Amino acid sequence: MPELPELNPVVHGRLRLSLLSLLCGVEEAEFTWLRAKTEATDGNLGAQLLKLEEAGYVAVKKKFVLRKPQTLYRITKSGRQALSDYVQALKQLLGTAI
Amino acid sequence: MQEGTTEQELKDRLSLIESMIGEGRRSIETWGWTYVLWGVAYYFAIAWAEWGRSAWAWPVTALIAVIVTVVVASFKAGNHPGTTLGRAIGSVWIALGISMFLLFPALGVSGRLTDQHLFVALMSAILGLANGASALILRWKVQFVCAVVWWVVAVAVCFTTDGQSTILFLVAIFFCQIVFGAYSQIAEAQQRKRRGPIHA
């Protein structure tokens, strides 16, 4: 009997999964854009992005545009790999469930 | 099955990934207004050229439409991030614009743009090319239908009378620019409404 894969708990959270999926389609994204797309609160979004950053799945860059602070996020190579592994694991689990 | 995770939850996660990745396509759909704008611009230029009998109808209208497109797009862009997909689609349409701005004035100035059928066939073929490329990149069936309509018009006008070719062109503009543009905007608004907030 083949062993069932474990789902990565860092990726599994709904908001974190949304963020990784959003970031995998763009080069880099502003905090405000991610907030608009997920409709999450500032606090929740910041906390989940921090978890992804601590896991090494997203990289953060802060800069000033016309004297306004801008926080940009981009998915890292390991973040992309983690998302890809997660999708594979999901498919495998669903395959055994059907 | 993962402990504490139901099959429905797993399916929900998969569809969440799909919908978020689909944001690339949705950001293209926010360009629906440009189709409507250019459709109206084509109608305006056709009417001006027909009743005003002015050689400036198309160049002036196209130039104004370009300026409006650039200004509105720069306001709408806001904090939208760049995507490879967006750049690919944008490149197709920018290349189309450059081709038209070089080809049609050159044909007009050289006096070789005397045949209305040639003008409509060229316009339709170029619009078919851009819509087709965009539809294939996005795997968007509705836009591919528009491309097919443009290609059909491009071929058909070679065998029709002046009146018929004008009608074909006007009908194609209506469906492939105005109706398609409005449909894209409505689809985007509906998708935004359907998708609620995402919690941790």
Q: Looking at chain A, which residue has its C-alpha nearest residue B10?
A: A90
Q: What is the CATH number of the domain that holds A90?
A: 1.10.10.10
Instruction: Please report the pLDDT score of residue B159 as a whole number.
Output: 96
Enumerate residues 12 to 31 of chain A having a beta carbon within 8 A of any beta carbon in chain B.
12-18, 21-22, 24-30
Instruction: Please report the pLDDT score of residue B88 as a whole number.
Output: 87
Beta-carbon separation of B79 and A32 below 8 A: yes
Instruction: Please report the pLDDT score of residue A33 as a whole number.
Output: 87
Cβ-proximal residues to B187 (8 Å cutoff; 6+ apart), any chain? B29, B32
Q: Which two tokens stand for residue A58?
A: 């997203």
pLDDT band at B175 (very low <50, low <70, confident <90, very high): very high
Beta-carbon separation of A38 and B196 below 8 A: no
Out of B7, B83, B200, the one facing A14 most closely (by C-beta) is B200
**CA atoms of A7 and B87, how far apart (whole Å):** 33
Number of domains chain A contains: 1
**CA atoms of B104 and B123, how far apart (whole Å):** 9
b vs e for B134-169, b when ≥16 Cβ sit within 10 Å of the residue's Cβ?
bbeebebeebbebbebbbebbebbeeeeeeebbebb
Instruction: Please report the pLDDT score of residue B35 as a whole number.
Output: 95
Candidates B146, B173, B138, B168; CA nearest to B156 is: B168
| Chain B interface test: which of A1, A20, A38, A92 (most B C-beta within 10 Å) | A38
Task: Give A-chain residues touching B13 at CB under 8 angstroms.
Answer: 12, 14, 17, 90
Instruction: Please report the pLDDT score of residue B125 as a whole number.
Output: 97
> In chain A, which stretches have pLDDT less than 50?
1, 98
Share of chain B above pLDDT 70, in %: 88
Task: Give A-chain residues touching B195 at CB under 8 angstroms.
Answer: 39
Domain boundaries in chain B?
Answer: 84-194
- At B80-115, the pLDDT tens digits run 777 777 788 889 999 999 999 999 999 989 988 888
Asked if residues B121 and B154 have their Cβ atoms less than 8 Å apart, the reply is yes
**CA atoms of B151 and B100, how far apart (whole Å):** 17
The answer to whether residue A1 sits within a structural domain is no
> Which secondary structure element, helix H or strand E, spans residue B152, and what is its range?
helix B141-156
Where is mean pLDDT largest: A67-71, B15-19, B125-129? B125-129
Q: What mean pLDDT is reported for chain B? A: 87
Candidates B158, B162, B173; CA nearest to B122 is: B158
Instruction: Please report the pLDDT score of residue B198 as a whole number.
Output: 59
Opening angle at CA A10, ends A6 and A15, nearest 5? 120
The secondary structure of B47-59 as a DSSP string is: HHHHHS--TTHHH
Q: Mind telling me how many Å the CA of A94 is from chain B's nearest CA?
A: 7
**Cα separation of the two ends of chain A:** 16
Out of A25, A39, A90, the one facing B10 most closely (by C-beta) is A90
Task: Give B-chain residues touching A42 at CB under 8 angstroms.
Answer: none
Task: Give B-chain residues touching A34 at CB under 8 angstroms.
Answer: none
Out of A16, A27, A96, the one facing B83 most closely (by C-beta) is A27
The secondary structure of B54-97 as a DSSP string is: -TTHHHHHHHHHHHHHHHHHHHHHTTPPP-HHHHHHHHHHHHHH
Task: Give B-chain residues touching A91 at CB under 8 angstroms.
Answer: 14
What is residue A43's three-state secondary structure?
A: helix
Q: Which two tokens stand for residue A66?
A: 């016309």
Beta-carbon separation of A97 and B13 below 8 A: no
A80 and chain B in contact, CB less than 8 A: no
The answer to whether residue A2 sits within a structural domain is no
The answer to whether residue A3 sits within a structural domain is no
pLDDT band at B2 (very low <50, low <70, confident <90, very high): low
- At B40-81, the pLDDT tens digits run 999 999 999 989 888 889 999 999 999 999 998 888 766 677
The residue range of the domain holding A52 is 9-97
Instruction: Please report the pLDDT score of residue B197 as a whole number.
Output: 57
Residue where the block lists tokens 């474990």: A6
Q: Which two tokens stand for residue A97?
A: 């469930």
